[in-house]
Amino acid sequence: MENRAVDIPKFSAAPVRVAAPPAFVPPRPAPAGPTDPRRRPVADLLALIRPGQWVKNLAVVPLVLLDTRHWTSSGAGRILWALAVFTLASAIVYVVNDLADRERDRLHPAKRHRPLAAGRIGTGGALALAAVLAGVLTAAVLLRPFAEWWPVTVYLLISVGYSRGLKHVPLLDAFIVASGFVLRLALGCAAVGRPVPYWLAVCVFSFCLLLSLGKRRHELTAAEMGHRPALSGYTIAFVDQLICLIAGLTAVSYLLFLREDPLFAGPADTLALLSALCALFGLARYLQVLLVEEGGGNPVRILLRDRVTLVNSALWAVLIGTALLLDATAA
């Protein structure tokens, strides 16, 4: 075999230029202002008392709106007082609950952003806020006789028990939450000097119990049992059975209230019964959101943002309002 020379190509080594690293520029500190999470004490204090949940306190209003005899400036003043009193009481309860749950809230994906759980407000600041609210509440209730504000006292007592451990007892936790709305209704009745209508109280209690159970069902599907120990006493199948039972009770009690309350006698009877169709549709829509769309974790959000619910609620209000005007005209 012949040995052949192999030509190896030659490469010219060009000088490699290495760029000098950019000069280090220290980051600028975040500007202090409303967008800085470290400098928003007012916003955090407001978040601690949950203004978004104050819509629940409108449960004190129905009796003034339903009974046209109380459509006076005096009646409006008493109902505004009742609203303010229960708003103050519920704000105190929110602060106390967040104080009791701040360690557990830090483990929750959403609740860890609350001011106390996130550490933006200290224990001392929360206690000071609760003390100020309690002082204002005391001054407000002393303006009226005890017979008009006893529901607030009962609400605060059961809320203390709820925060101290009753919220960890299955079933009792949901029943306590629902009873708070009956106490709101009782405060509205006491403010205008009218007895609590039996079937309306049953309807309010059962409807709020339905919402409370729906929230627990949502938490079961989201696997949040570690955050709420009471969920260990529930299963989805058990909650679904309770929801069917309570939804039926809500519908029947509403119909009985319309049938037996003298406000809806005479010419208002037909419109009041038509409003029952809206009430039944509203129940069906909530069950659809809960069971089909897997929602229901925030009932207030459904009430305020679901378009179908908003339109249905507006139609219900028109029917009830027209019925009451007819009753007032006939009287």
Residues 101-157 pLDDT 10s: 888 888 777 788 888 888 888 888 889 999 999 999 999 999 889 888 899 999 999
Measured between alpha carbons, how far is residue 149 from residues 34, 62, 100, 179 in Å? Answer: 38, 17, 26, 16
At 288, the pLDDT band (50, 70, 90 cuts) reads very high
Give the whole-angstrom CA distance, residue 155 versus residue 150. Answer: 9
Mean pLDDT rounded to a whole number for the chain: 81
DSSP string, 256-299: HHHHH-GGG-GGGHHHHHHHHHHHHHHHHHHHIIIIIS---S-H
Give tens-digit pLDDT for 190-247.
887 888 889 999 999 999 999 999 999 988 887 665 567 888 899 999 999 999 999 9
More confident residue, 163 or 178: 178
pLDDT higher than threshold 50 for residue 28: no
pLDDT at 75: 73
Measured between alpha carbons, how far is residue 311 from residues 203, 247, 281, 303, 318 in Å? Answer: 21, 21, 11, 10, 11
Give the whole-angstrom CA distance, residue 51 versus residue 304. Answer: 14
According to CATH, the superfamily of the domain at 49-196 is: UbiA prenyltransferase (1.10.357.140)
Lowest mean pLDDT among 78-87, 265-274, 307-316: 265-274
pLDDT higher than threshold 50 for residue 29: no
Q: Residue 215 has which token pair?
A: 């929230």
pLDDT at 226: 59
Domain extent listing, the chain: 49-196, 198-331
Phi-psi region for residue 119, left (φ > 0), alpha (ψ -120 to 50) or beta?
A: left
Q: Are 61 and 170 in contact (CB under 8 A)?
A: no
Q: Distance from first CA to last CA of the chain, Å, rounded?
A: 128
Q: Residue 305 has which token pair?
A: 């943002």
Averaged pLDDT for residues 242-258:
94
Percent of the chain residues topping a pLDDT of 70: 82
Measured between alpha carbons, how far is residue 94 from residues 105, 114, 226, 272 in Å? Answer: 13, 11, 21, 36
pLDDT at 176: 95
Q: Are 228 and 219 in contact (CB under 8 A)?
A: yes
Give the whole-angstrom CA distance, residue 310 versus residue 282. Answer: 10
Give residue for tokens 């008493």: 78
pLDDT at 268: 74
More confident residue, 9 or 97: 97
Tally of CB atoms within 10 A around 222: 12
Averaged pLDDT for residues 51-78:
71
Count CA within 13 A, CB hemisphere, residue 190. Answer: 21
Give the whole-angstrom CA distance, residue 195 versus residue 187. Answer: 10
More confident residue, 295 or 142: 142
- Strand positions, DSSP E, 149-211: none
Q: What is the pTM of this model?
A: 0.79
pLDDT at 114: 85
Alpha helices (H) along 24-171: 41-48, 62-66, 73-105, 115-118, 123-141, 146-164
Averaged pLDDT for residues 87-106:
88
At 17, the pLDDT band (50, 70, 90 cuts) reads low
pLDDT at 51: 85
pLDDT at 57: 78
Count CA within 13 A, CB hemisphere, residue 120. Answer: 18
More confident residue, 81 or 105: 81
Averaged pLDDT for residues 271-299:
88
